[in-house]
Amino acid sequence: MLIALLQIAALASVAILLGRWRASVRRRNAATWDSLVARLRVDWSARDLSDSFLWKEGMDATPQEVWTRIQGAHGLWAIYQNASVMLEMVDFATRSGACGDLELMATLRSDALQIRVCVLMALTQYAFTHASEGVRVNAFRAATLYTGMAARMTRLLQESAAVVLPDFVAAM
């Protein structure tokens, strides 16, 4: 009896996971540039990280200043979510054939994954030690990668979807 219940629970769990996966694939395939740009977090802006972060890479700030400018864990979570959306933008550009620069696409994918790892490490450290030096260093690294990714994403949008570039700049 117990084994039968466990089997039913396992099958139900697998069915739910497959259903969620299928829904996410449908959502991804139905995405447009406008819908992706609309998903960027607008309640937080990275403008404080650098004066021209959308047009050139790099920041002029210390890890402590970056931690203050990104508003701590709130900004880290926004960076995490925006990196995910920008990764979907890269996937959309790849699927639609909008950009032929494969090296740029690979760099953007790598940036998104590195940003997400750095943010998760920083948030995990923050949960245990609050704003220690390790948290600020990981936040600084994530912010540096994020500003670089935003500059490269701007370049991608200039090449493949110039129509949505103003909306992207406004959202960032």
pLDDT confidence of 58, banded at 50, 70, 90?
A: low
Helix (H) or strand (E) holding 45: none
**Per-residue exposure over 126-154, b if at least 16 CB sit within 10 Å of its own CB, e if not:** beeeebeeebbbbbbbbbbbbbbbbbbbb
Would you state the pLDDT for residue 62? Answer: 77
Span 142-155, average pLDDT:
85
Are residues 137 and 76 in contact, defined by beta-carbon separation less than 8 angstroms? no
Span 133-145, average pLDDT:
86
Find, among 149, 60, 70, 138, the residue nearest to 111 by Cα: 149
Q: What percent of the chain has pLDDT over 90?
A: 13
- Looking up tokens 């998104």 gives 112
Domain ranges for the chain = 1-30, 32-171
Would you state the pLDDT for residue 55? Answer: 61
Would you state the pLDDT for residue 115? Answer: 92
Would you state the pLDDT for residue 61? Answer: 73
pLDDT at 16 over 90: yes
| Residue 81 tokens, joined | 């979510």
111-135 pLDDT tens trace: 999 999 999 999 998 888 876 788 8
Distance in angstroms (rounded) separating the CA atoms of residues 134 and 122:
8
pLDDT confidence of 56, banded at 50, 70, 90?
A: low
SS (H, E, C) 109-137: HHHHHHHHHHHHHHHHHHHHHCCCHHHHH
Span 45-65, average pLDDT:
69
Span 15-33, average pLDDT:
83
